[in-house]
Amino acid sequence: MAFSMLSGAKHLALTCRDIAPKDFGFVCLDFNGVSASLPRMAIVPHRRNSRVAKTLVPKCSVSASRPASQPRFIQHKKEAFWFYRFLSLIYDHVINPGHWTEDMRDEALEPAELNDRRLLVVDVGGGTGFTTLGIIKHVDPKNVTILDQSPHQLEKARQKKELKECKIIEGDAEDLPFPTDYADRYVSAGSIEYWPDPQRGIGEAYRVLKLGGKACLIGPVYPTHPVSRFFADAWMLFPKEEEYIEWFTKAGFKDVQLKRIGPKWYRGVRRHGLIMGCSVTGVKPASGDSPLKLGPKAEDVKKPVDPLKFLTRLILGALAATYYVLVPIYMWIKDKIVPKGMPI
Ligand SMILES: C[S@@+](CC[C@H](N)C(=O)[O-])C[C@H]1O[C@@H](n2cnc3c(N)ncnc32)[C@H](O)[C@@H]1O
Ligand 1 binding pocket mutation candidate from 81, 90, 148 (most atoms within 8 A of CB): 148
Q: How far is the CA of 261 from the centre of ligand 1 (A)?
A: 19
Q: Can you give the pLDDT at residue 66?
A: 54
Q: How far is the CA of 61 from the centre of ligand 1 (A)?
A: 27
Q: Domain spans of the chain?
A: 1-344
Smallest CA-to-CA distance from 75 within 201, 170, 218 is with: 201
Ligand 1 atom with minimal separation from the 174 CA: 19
Q: How far is the CA of 339 from the centre of ligand 1 (A)?
A: 37
For residue 330, give the H/E element and its range: helix 307-337
**Cβ pair 261, 276 in contact under 8 A:** yes
Q: Can you give the pLDDT at residue 32?
A: 43
What's the half-sphere exposure (Cβ side, CA atoms, 13 Å) at 252?
24
Spatial separation of the C-alpha atoms in residues 121 and 132, rounded to whole Å: 10
Ligand 1 binding pocket mutation candidate from 194, 235, 276 (most atoms within 8 A of CB): 194
Smallest CA-to-CA distance from 239 within 44, 75, 21, 55 is with: 75
Ligand 1 atom with minimal separation from the 201 CA: 19
CATH class of 1-344: alpha beta
From atom 3 of ligand 1, which residue's Cα is the shortest distance away?
190
Q: Can you give the pLDDT at residue 296?
A: 83
Q: Can you give the pLDDT at residue 69?
A: 53
Q: Can you give the pLDDT at residue 67?
A: 59
Contact residues for 64 (Cβ-Cβ < 8 A; gap 6+) = none
Smallest CA-to-CA distance from 320 within 74, 71, 127, 64 is with: 74
Q: Can you give the pLDDT at residue 76?
A: 85
Ligand 1 atom with minimal separation from the 96 CA: 9
Q: Can you give the pLDDT at residue 16?
A: 32
* Angle at alpha carbon of residue 285, lines to 31 and 115, rounded to 5°: 85
Contact residues for 191 (Cβ-Cβ < 8 A; gap 6+) = 124, 125, 127, 148, 173, 201, 219
Q: How far is the CA of 153 from the centre of ligand 1 (A)?
A: 8
Q: Can you give the pLDDT at residue 68?
A: 53
Q: Can you give the pLDDT at residue 183?
A: 98
Q: Can you give the pLDDT at residue 4?
A: 34
Instruction: Say if pTM beats, i.e. exceeds, 0.85.
Output: no
Residue type, 326: L
Q: Mutual orientation of helices 226-235 and 307-337 as an angle, nearest 10°?
A: 140
Digitized pLDDT (tens) for each residue of the chain, 344 residues in all:
333 333 333 333 322 333 233 333 344 454 443 333 333 333 333 433 333 333 233 333 333 455 555 668 888 888 899 899 989 999 898 889 999 999 999 999 999 999 999 999 999 999 999 999 999 999 999 999 999 999 999 999 999 999 999 999 999 999 999 999 999 999 999 999 999 999 999 999 999 999 999 999 999 999 999 999 999 999 899 999 999 999 999 999 999 999 999 999 999 999 999 999 999 999 999 999 999 999 888 777 778 888 998 899 889 999 999 999 999 999 999 999 999 988 89
* Ligand 1 residue neighbourhood (C-beta within 6 Å): 77, 80, 84, 100, 125-128, 130-131, 148-150, 153, 172-174, 189-191, 194-195
Query: Dihedral of CA 8/10/11/15: which sign?
Result: positive
